[in-house]
Structure 1
């Protein structure tokens, strides 16, 4: 059994005049959400043994803030393939994960993360969380997927169970849509 937790970067600052999208930082709401999600992961005793992430500034900052709330830090394995990747590219990244890792935290972007979840989890009506993801996978959200595999290279579409899906607004309504 392998477990994959996806962390979408927190809300970024569209008003920051950076030259490249890659360099866009978090805004204050994003920082608050990332810290809250880290605290949530700690309370749930989520234990990650490998971290792979997009090197985009907003992902790096999300992880820094997430781990401040989580209470410990993991060394990141930066993979540029994750930056704005499609679901098939993200599945390739998953299949390349080291088998020594049982619970991987992957931090990155939408729409790829949402599409990856929808590709991995069967659309059979058995999991209402999948329907929530289909509506939207908001910034700073965490999705935990269980894969009944022994080797990451065995990851396949429709081969996962969505064990949990938590949005910042589930923990603090002030972080929901329409709030700043």
Structure 2
């Protein structure tokens, strides 16, 4: 369990399936993070939680809980962990819309990044963000992430082709932030 002043991150468990399912099928939540925008059955979500979020050796996933009210508000993960090359990708979703725009995403990612660099001894953490998600890009930059490249027109949203921005943070850059 990891924490900050306002948040606690705890490992995802079987008890989180229905909650995660509600976030995963909320198009407002997934619009800025999920390329496919598919709807999932409860069984598909249960299988994903069991096989990827809980059992995968190459990912570590945590439910973000707001301390004051003990309410689960989102999920964050390190995925595609490559221990040999000391790399991982991070993802985050604040699933409870009442908690958007209050700095919880940034705070949760800071906890996850601290864990990645200080506990797992990773050298690099990367992420992908949709080019139209200006708020997220600014948040990532404040955390020290730097743009590394762009996958041009690789996402189709609302009748338009959008870019996916690739960003990364190196261990030595993390120490400077």
Q: TM-score, normalised by structure 2?
A: 0.29
The structure carrying a bigger strand percent of its residues is 2
Q: Which has the higher contact order (CA 8 A, sep 6+)?
A: 1
Give the structure-1-normalised TM-score.
Answer: 0.29
